[in-house]
Amino acid sequence: DAKTTQPPSMDCAEGRAANLPCNHSTISGNEYVYWYRQIHSQGPQYIIHGLKNNETNEMASLIITEDRKSSTLILPHATLRDTAVYYCIVRSTGTSNTGKLIFGQGTTLQVKP
């Protein structure tokens, strides 16, 4: 699985869009990009995933660059409850070790009033 690089921390004003970047320059063609988050004192929560195309769900949008070497998770209208550590994870579609997610240090997003 390709290595990911994320900024250690970011701030965002409540109600504004939060854009969390992730670099995965060694990603290969069969690897998905996943985003999970961990709110304080809770277990990690799946947010979204993508392969090549941009994706959107009720929680967030995922923008993947055309060369797939980086991506951005967008929370369109951040609330205080979005304060959490956000993890960008790259996983092969053909993995045999299903569920063996490699969590790095992630980005601590602080949403401020």
Partner 1 sequence: DTAVSQTPKYLVTQMGNDKSIKCEQNLGHDTMYWYKQDSKKFLKIMFSYNNKELIINETVPNRFSPKSPDKAHLNLHINSLELGDSAVYFCASSLRDRVPEKLFFGSGTQLSVL
Binding site for partner 1 (CB under 8 A): 32, 34, 36, 38, 41-46, 49, 85, 91, 93, 95, 97-101, 103, 105
Q: Which two tokens stand for residue 113?
A: 């009033």
Which is closer to partner 1, CB of 38 or CB of 61? 38
Which is closer to partner 1, CB of 15 or CB of 30? 30
How far apart, in whole angstroms, are the C-alpha atoms of residue 40 and residue 11? 16
Within 10 angstroms of residue 7's Cβ, the number of other Cβ atoms is: 14
How far apart, in whole angstroms, are the C-alpha atoms of residue 109 and residue 20? 8
Which is closer to partner 1, CB of 29 or CB of 43? 43
Q: How far is the CB of 38 from partner 1 (least distance, A)?
A: 8
